[in-house]
Structure 1
Amino acid sequence: MNLKEASFGEFLKPSQVIFELKSHEKLEAIEELLDSLVKQKLISNRNLTLTRIIDRENLEPTALGHGLAVPHARVDTESQMAVAVGRSAEGIDFSAPDSRPVRLIILVVWNPTLPGLFNHLFSGLASFLIKPDNRDRLFSARDKNELYNVLSQIPLAFPYEDRIVNRASLLKKLQDIELKIRRAPEARQEELQKHRALIREELDQSLLARFDLLMDRYGYAVSEIIDGVCQSCNMSVSTQMASAIDESNDIYICENCGKYLVSPGKKEKEKAVAKEKSEKEKIEAEKKGPALAPAARTSQAKKAPAVKVKVKAGKARKN
């Protein structure tokens, strides 16, 4: 298969689309979609596949925001990739980054012998679904066939050279795990190694090769960008890049130091804002300090003679 010319329709058939999911909970919805793949003999080991999907969800929710989720797992399949799509009218809680209920679930199970396939599919999905008009077409589909027609036209895509679509939080988490592995006690090593393997399974090999090289050379490979400044080299990036990275889950590369650039999470942003505010208040206090000091000394100087006078007067009365 020529991936550059392939579309989502290569892996999705109308029979793999559930227009109205019966499930109301995340796990139930995943099982409902998984059962549809088992029924069509696209996967054989249901329990193993479900376990892998749940492990991946526990590591980091696969909700993309805007009512979309792409739960997935890397497991031996009967074909290259098994896909099932389900739509929920009322929405399902997937712990989405924007807290919105998920209305469209795209379940993907791919063969480990094709490590790059999922990345091309995911990149194509993310590029398509990020556009409001495309999401509206999916959510407003009147029946199963209309929904399938929209989905089947989504092209597979190769990640840009300077940007990897919608993988920032995953790469940042991989770095956090790598750093924990270095100092974690032996009792925690097995769990951390498992989490590391789950993430590495779905990231592109070229991305991982660069990540490993940076980790070996500098001790870290991913840097946050705050107020347009790379926190690794303290150099400002272009206004256009800074704007694109802000609150994005895409990965960019710093043109100066070569680290992967990601947008900080909400908590990190709040910390940065609080730190900046504290530093500004400190500077303002230092500016006001010298101006207040002479006044304070003058006040003390005026009070001092009065104290001495009182003391002398007291001694005179005792004599």
Structure 2
Amino acid sequence: MDIGKLLTPNRISFQLKGRTKEEAIEELIEILYKDGTIKNKEDFKIAVMKREEEFSTGIGHGIGIPHGKSEAVNEASIAFGISQDGIDFDSMDGQPVNLLFLIAVPNKSDDVHLKILSYISRRLMHDDVREKLIKAKTYDQILEAF
């Protein structure tokens, strides 16, 4: 999988401002909206938050991977945000989230979001990858971490 096609330089926030799960998700949705990846912020947010209601995507180790499948999505993409302070994300381990990946896929995509989730999750299991990401200051450093 070519992460660089899904996560482009303009889909990154090195300093998320949101302090809550919803604020952080809205911030990443705004990035994808400005990028033209999604055409309707509210419709996509409904899809993402519905998924969050089922089960938190805070997977532990400071990682959150919210995702949504919606007609509001033009093309599969990832927005990535870093929060140095951490965000309460109802994570499985009860710890705040510092690394937030928002995955957006069109409804007509079969299992694309599962492949993206698997790709990201496998890499983030490694402490060194997470450390490189939290310290990243450039797009290239993010790609290098993966």
Task: Please give the range of the TM-score, normalised by the shorter of the 2 chains.
Answer: over 0.9
Q: Deviations for 1:72-125, whole angstroms, at most 9, x for unmatched residues? A: 11112212x021101001000001111110001000110122212111111111
Aligned to 1:89: 84
Q: What percentage of aligned pairs have identical amino acids?
A: 30
Which sections of structure 1, spanning at least 5 residues, go unmatched? 1-5, 155-319
Identify the structure with the greater strand proportion: 2
**Runs ≥4 residues deviating over 2 A:** 144-151
Residue segments in structure 2 that go unaligned for 5+ positions in a row: none
Please state if 1:150 is matched with 2:127. no
- Of Structure 1 and Structure 2, the greater helix share is in 1
Aligned residues: 145
What letter matches 1:70 in structure 2? I
Give secondary structure in 2 for the equivalent of 1:136: helix
How do residues 235-246 of structure 1 correspond to structure 2 at under 5 angstroms? Answer: none
* Secondary structure of 2:56 counterpart: coil
Q: 1:147 to 1:31 in 2, by over 3 A?
A: farther
**TM-score (normalizing by structure 2):** 0.93
Q: TM-score, normalised on structure 1? A: 0.44
Q: Deviations over 1:130-187 (max 9, x none)?
A: 111111111222x133443236xx4xxxxxxxxxxxxxxxxxxxxxxxxxxxxxxxxx
Amino acid of the residue matched to residue 39 of structure 2?
S
Report 1:109-188 matches (<5 A): 109-141=104-136, 143-150=137-144, 154=146
| Contact 1:43–1:82, Cα closer than 8 Å, also in 2 | no
Q: Does the Cα contact within 8 Å between 1:37 and 1:43 map onto a contact in 2?
A: yes
Give 1:20's aligned residue: 15
Letter of the 2:7 counterpart: L
Please identify the structure whose Cα radius of gyration is greater: 1
